[in-house]
Amino acid sequence: MSTVYALLFIVATLVMVVGLALKIKQYANTPAPLKIPTTPAPTTEAGVVMRLFREVVFFESLFKSTKWTWIFSWMFHMALFVVLLRHIRYFIDDVWLPIVLIQPFGKYAGFVMVIGLAGLFARRILVDRVRYISAPSDYLWLVVLLFIGFSGLMMSFVSHTDVTMVKQYFTGVWTFSGGELPMDFPLMVHLLLVALLMILFPFSKLLHVPGLFFSPGRNQVDNPREKRHLAPWAKTLEEQE
Ligand code: HEM
Ligand code: HEM
């Protein structure tokens, strides 16, 4: 079983890394022929950097549109971030000090993550206009992430797994030299769903992570009068004339 999981994680990592790289390349090469920043928009490059920063850290535009979605979504994403930082200790040997310091917070961030996800799930079911536009994959992601959260919390608070063995396993997973994975049910479920998440990442709505940075509405400077906007392909045409 340990070998099956090692193979699964190697495949999942390759699919995620190569898939994301190809998607990012595709996004970077997609022409943005029009000047369409969502106004009011910054008029300088530094302003755009700040706008993206506020978008990523505070979910500014979501905050301006719906407070309920914002609170649950922000709780989920920020808690996920802390949880993932805490997980770094399973993959490196000399754990960096900030990761050591974050451990107690990471453990409880799991609860915040699950509460946020439950709120987002309730929203999809209870709000008529959101239910109307929800596709199966919208529910699927929330369910997958909820089960990852539940199984993780089970291990942290109810039925512990051998974390040292997990770490040893994952530091050697690439070369199949990490030894055995503890065969605990919550861990098996946790890892299976994480591998599923990694494999589906480059083909799903989780592409909003790189996508945000390529969104013309968010990443363009509002300066059409000062500087003529030309997509790279249009520039080449002009040079040929
Ligand atoms: C740069 C990092 C990220 C940013 C800025 C970001 C931002 C957002 C925003 C603005 C939304 C729309 C609001 C909402 O519907 O909740 C959203 C939705 C969502 N995000 Fe992210 N996200 C990030 C990373 C991630 C990651 C790493 C995951 C999971 C592994 C994730 C999972 C989701 C899911 C499942 C939804 C849909 C929730 C729902 O409406 O049902 N996000 N994200
Ligand atoms: C290969 C990747 C992963 C491994 C090896 C792993 C392993 C673990 C282990 C061993 C625990 C129990 C910690 C303890 O007993 O103290 C745990 C907890 C947890 N995991 Fe994961 N996990 C992985 C990926 C993920 C991902 C991608 C997410 C989120 C989407 C996640 C969410 C959680 C949560 C919420 C907890 C409970 C809170 C905590 O202890 O931090 N895990 N994980």
What is the mean predicted confidence (pLDDT) over 187-191?
Answer: 96
- Give the N- to C-terminal CA distance of the chain in Å, as an integer: 64
Percent with pLDDT over 70 in the chain: 100
Beta carbons within 8 Å of 61's beta carbon, 6+ residues apart: 38, 55
What is the mean predicted confidence (pLDDT) over 62-74?
Answer: 96
Residue 158 CA, ligand 1 centroid: distance in Å: 28
Domains parsed from the chain with CATH numbers: 1-239 (1.20.950.20)
Lowest-pLDDT range, 3-12, 28-37, 148-157, 191-200?
28-37
**Is this prediction's pTM over 0.85?**
yes
Q: What number of other Cβ atoms are within 10 A of residue 155's Cβ?
A: 21
User: Is the distance from CB of 149 to CB of 114 less than 8 angstroms?
Assistant: yes
How far CA 171 is from CA of 3, 91, 95, 174, 225, in Å, comes to 14, 5, 12, 8, 54
Q: Is 148 in the pocket of ligand 2 (CB under 6 A)?
A: yes
Q: Does residue 212 have a pLDDT over 90?
A: yes
Q: Does residue 127 have a pLDDT over 80?
A: yes
Q: What is the pLDDT of residue 179?
A: 83
pLDDT-based confidence at residue 64 (cuts at 50, 70, 90): very high
Phi-psi region of 184 (alpha: psi -120 to 50; beta: other; left: phi over 0): beta
Q: Using CB atoms within 10 A of its CB, is residue 129 exposed (0-12), middle (13-18) or buried (19+)?
A: exposed
How far apart are alpha carbons 16 and 202 in whole angstroms? 6
Task: Output the residue whose Cα is nearest ligand 1's atom 24.
Answer: 209
Residue 166 CA, ligand 1 centroid: distance in Å: 28
How far apart are alpha carbons 235 and 232 in whole angstroms? 5
Q: What is the pLDDT of residue 68?
A: 95
Instruction: Count Cα atoms within 13 angstroms, Cβ side, for 57.
Output: 6
Q: What is the pLDDT of residue 231?
A: 75
Q: What is the pLDDT of residue 105?
A: 87
pLDDT-based confidence at residue 113 (cuts at 50, 70, 90): very high
Residue in 143, 152, 144, 140 with CA at minimum distance from that of residue 185: 152
Q: Is 83 in the pocket of ligand 2 (CB under 6 A)?
A: yes
Q: What number of other Cβ atoms are within 10 A of residue 148's Cβ?
A: 24
For residue range 156-168, what is the model confidence (pLDDT) as tens digits? 999 899 999 999 9
Residue 62 CA, ligand 1 centroid: distance in Å: 11
Lowest-pLDDT range, 9-13, 68-72, 81-85, 89-93?
89-93
The ligand that comes nearest to the alpha carbon of residue 107 is 2
